[in-house]
Amino acid sequence: MNKFKKYATGTLAALLMGLIAAPLYAQLPAHLRDFQLASRKASGDLVGPMFNGWIKNQDDSITMIFGFVNRNREEIVDIPLGPNNFIEPAQFDGAQPTHFPVYKRPGFVGIQERGAFAVTVPADMADTEVVWTLKHAGHSYSIPGRATSTAYEMSREERALGSLSPAIRFDMDGPESTDREGIKAAKITASVGSPVTLTAYAQDRGNRAEYEVEELFVPVGTEWIMHQGPAAPEFESAKITGRDRAKAGEGEGTATADGWTLVQTEATFWEPGDYVVRLRVDNFMAGDSKFDNQCCWSNAYVPVTVTP
């Protein structure tokens, strides 16, 4: 068969498959058309909550970690806290994001945003299901977080080559985050259209001395992400990877003698209201760490009140 015949045959087969698939899709019940493996829409598609895993803490409390998927190819979705975005039991409500960007990452993670937040369930409630519900464009999905399946059990212990989740502080003498639940900074006040500086300190952590690795510590990657609020702000420098910092000699901040790196950006808000900005710090430069893993970053959150 010559090249033209092969091309024509292939084109005809693809056309026939399309003609067959479209009527079959139309015949599916509505709930099956919404199945997550269906073709993604540019807009009007679902935003779904995801349960990423759980960690049993030393005091027998349970930390449950959540993420989300925005299946829209183009539509960035905002779902305020309330009847369309809530967690039950109500005592855990409010930690979840309200802003759901579109992600186009390669590999296993793909369009997911993993580890966007976490909640800790006290030991006497360890059997409680924490259920996150999102409703958008006629779709409604609820995902339960529960500490029952070992397949979802995670660990705070060091990784294969000694890496640990990075540390974040807003004050060098203040509290420290080394997990997805994170810490909150003191509230910042800003005004519409006037840049405000967001500042934190980040540190790579690990026990790598016993392993055959080139570096005991690696440059951290950082990203400022809108977590909650009425409209996405502009960040002067939203994301700096560990590789970028390695090339630039720590980028915009210089590591201190004890390994802390100053992390700063200017944020400009265009609508008044209450916001929460998430800072994610990673150690993806380490040999036993990458974004596909759930081990390798920590969160911290900055509340911002924006006045007119």
| Per-residue model confidence as pLDDT tens digits over 222-273 | 999 999 999 999 999 999 999 999 888 754 444 555 789 999 999 999 999 9
Return the CATH number at 205.
2.60.40.10
| 60 and 122 Cβ atoms separated by less than 8 Å | no
Same-domain pairing of 235 and 270: yes
pLDDT at 38: 65
Show the tokens assigned to 225: 């992400």
| Per-residue model confidence as pLDDT tens digits over 57-110 | 999 999 999 999 999 999 999 999 999 999 999 999 999 999 999 998 887 788
Range of the structural domain that residue 72 is part of: 47-152
| Per-residue model confidence as pLDDT tens digits over 27-50 | 545 555 555 556 888 999 999 999
| Per-residue model confidence as pLDDT tens digits over 140-153 | 999 999 999 999 99
pLDDT at 298: 96
The strand pair at 221-228 and 273-282 is best described as antiparallel
In a domain, 222, yes or no: yes
Same-domain pairing of 171 and 300: yes
Q: Tell me what the pLDDT averaged over the chain comes to.
A: 87
Number of domains present in the structure of the chain: 2
Phi and psi angles of residue 85, each rounded to the nearest 5 degrees, phi first = -155, 95
Q: How big is the CA angle at 145 (ends 142 and 149), to the nearest 5 degrees?
A: 125
In a domain, 42, yes or no: no
For residue 3, what pLDDT band results from cuts at 50, 70 and 90? Answer: very low
Same-domain pairing of 94 and 167: no
| 188 and 200 Cβ atoms separated by less than 8 Å | no
Question: Length of the chain in residues, anyone?
Answer: 308
Same-domain pairing of 199 and 298: yes
DSSP secondary structure code for residue 286 in this structure: S
* Exposure letters 239-267 (e unless 16+ CB within 10 A, then b): ebbbebbeeeebbbbebeeeebbebebeb
Q: pLDDT at residue 6 above 50?
A: no
Same-domain pairing of 129 and 190: no
| 163 and 208 Cβ atoms separated by less than 8 Å | yes
pLDDT at 235: 97
Least confident residue range of 9-13, 124-128, 138-142 = 9-13
| Per-residue model confidence as pLDDT tens digits over 156-186 | 889 999 999 999 999 999 999 999 999 999 9
- Among 89, 117, 152, the domain-final residue is 152
Rounded-to-integer distance, Cα 87 and Cα 49, Å: 11
Same-domain pairing of 179 and 76: no
Same-domain pairing of 115 and 185: no
